[in-house]
Amino acid sequence: MPATTGDLRPGARGVAAAFVVSGVTHLVRPQLFEPLIPPTLPWPRAWVLGTGIAELVAAAGTLGRARWAPAATVATLLVVWPGNLWHAVSTQRDPQAPAVLKAALWLRLPLQVPMIAAAADPIRRRADDPTCVPTGQ
The answer on pLDDT for 99 being more than 80 is: yes
| Mean pLDDT, the chain, integer | 86
The answer on pLDDT for 42 being more than 60 is: yes
Average pLDDT over residues 55-65: 95
Reported as a single tens digit per residue, the pLDDT across 11-32 is 889 999 999 999 999 999 999 9
| Residue 129 pLDDT | 52
- Cβ-based burial of 67 (10 A; exposed 0-12, middle 13-18, buried ≥19): exposed
**Alpha-carbon gap, residue 34 to 32, rounded angstroms:** 6
Domain map of the chain by residue range?
7-118
State the Rg of the chain over Cα: 17
**Alpha-carbon gap, residue 54 to 134, rounded angstroms:** 33
The size of the chain, in residues, is 137
Instruction: Answer whether 50's CB lies under 8 Å from 27's CB.
Output: no
Question: With the CA atoms of 81, 122, 64 and 76 taken in that order, what torsion angle do they form, in degrees rounded to the nearest 10?
Answer: 10
Reported as a single tens digit per residue, the pLDDT across 111-133 is 999 999 988 887 665 445 555 44
Instruction: Answer whether 47's CB lies under 8 Å from 41's CB.
Output: yes
| Residue 124 pLDDT | 62
- pTM score, two decimals? 0.80
| Residue 75 pLDDT | 95
**DSSP helix/strand/coil, 134:** coil
